[in-house]
Amino acid sequence: MKKELLLASALVSTMGVASVAEAVTATMSGMHATGLKGNDTDAAGDAIITNPASSDFSVSLSETTDGGVGISTSFMLANESGATHTAGLTLTFTDGSKLDVFNAGNAAGTHDVSVPGSAGSPGVTIVTANNAQTGLDFFKEATVVGVEWHSAADFMADGLKVSASISADDGAAADGSVELESSWGLGATYVTSAGDTALTIGAGIADSEVKDNSVSPTGGNGFHIGFSAVTGDLTVAAGYANGDKIIESPETAVFDAAVTKVGVKYVAGDVTLSAGFTSAEADDNTSNLTVASGDLDTQDITELGISYAVASGVTANIGWKDIEAVDDGSADTSGGSSWYVGATMSF
């Protein structure tokens, strides 16, 4: 019996040592936003509602090999504002470059410039088939079978970072709708200074091919370019994007989508004031994926926001957003205005 106890003790001890040696570093992060939102659309009167839950809880895992190569990944335990996400593997090399392996995304989307807008989450949901694209990276298509390479800082020039990505067919059949077949993307960010102003310039280009069970659309492509200038507490940013996109469901081709965004942000102690404007237009077609219909969808979005840092990790937000929309050349009555009052807690 004594020998059995000693053997069991040695086994537990060995397993404990092994588990410590093989354990990766795990960190957790998350946030929860709550508040009230009021909507006033062009088709209906005022309505005050509890803002839909916006919470997430994610875990990041990382370890470094004896050769100095970092290996990391992450997954979400909860994401109430959307689907949970599991990342691929990221390899970080000793020269500072990185490689995202599978489920990597598109390099064009990595380098779009952040343009200030509202605070919190006000917003009127456009419920019509309005396909004006409002993001600078709307064409960043990628399958899970893909990789993305990121250069180290100061790549070939001080302040320059570049990325390149490629994705291949994941085998999904185009059964009643289009499916992404392959894509590639390139992006770059350049950081410099001009006197007291820190200047960031970001740009990206991408192209994708799709497959369909009936017609043969050419796929999507596009480019974006933008800048952000920070002088003391003041940030001014702007960006422009243009391209085509194929939407999976319902099958829709979006031609000549153009997005222009401008925004400004000012930090005064614990208070941040922000404002932004987006002008977007596109020509969509659901009946023929190879030609434009000739009728434009448009959205003009105006945003205002005030944020106050109440305590570490706690931010109070007041936001306002207005959307003037046109769907296929006619007034889109699902547009309108929205306000938001609430708070965000993060860790």
Helices (H), the chain: 2-22, 107-110
pLDDT tens per residue, range 136-147? 999 999 999 999
Compute the CA torsion angle 118, 119, 120, 121 (nearest 10 deg): 0
Q: Where are the beta strands (DSSP E) in the chain?
A: 25-41, 46-50, 54-64, 70-79, 89-92, 98-101, 146-150, 160-167, 179-194, 197-211, 221-231, 234-247, 252-268, 271-285, 296-311, 314-327, 330-331, 336-346
Rounded CA separation 106/139 (Å):
9
The per-residue pLDDT for 96 is 94
- Predicted local distance difference test score (pLDDT) of residue 41: 80
How high is the pLDDT of residue 46?
67
Model confidence at 10: pLDDT above 70: no
Q: Which domains does the chain have, with CATH numbers?
A: 35-346 (2.40.160.10)
Q: Which residues touch 309 (CB under 8 Å, ≥6 apart)?
A: 270, 271, 272, 315
Q: What is the DSSP letter of 312?
A: T
pLDDT score, position 207: 96
* pLDDT for the residue numbered 14: 36
Average pLDDT, the chain: 87
Q: Does position 52 have pLDDT exceeding 80, yes or no?
A: no
Classify residue 286 by its DSSP letter. Answer: S
Distance CA 193, CA 324 (A): 37
Can you spell out the DSSP letters for 8-75?
HHHHHHHHHHHHHHHPPEEEEEEEEEEEEEEEEETTS-EEEEEPPPEEEEEEEEEEE-TTS-EEEEEE
CA–CA dist 330, 129 (Å, integer)? 12
Task: Fill in the amino acid letter for 244.
Answer: D
Confidence of residue 22 (pLDDT cuts 50, 70, 90): low
Which range of 80-84, 157-161, 218-222 scores highest in mean pLDDT? It is 157-161
Task: Determine the average pLDDT of the residues in 4-20.
Answer: 39
Q: Which amino acid is at 288?
A: N
Q: What does the pLDDT average to over 204-233?
A: 90
Residues 6+ apart with CB under 8 A from 202: 111, 112, 113, 187, 188, 189, 190, 224, 225, 226, 227, 228, 239
CB contact at 8 A, 35 and 305? no
Q: Is the pLDDT of residue 191 over 90?
A: yes
What is the structure's pLDDT at 202?
Answer: 98
CA distance 333 to 325: 8
Mean of pLDDT values over 205-234 = 90
Q: What is the pLDDT of residues 134-178, one digit of tens each?
A: 999 999 999 999 999 999 999 999 999 999 999 999 888 877 778
Percent of the chain residues topping a pLDDT of 70: 89
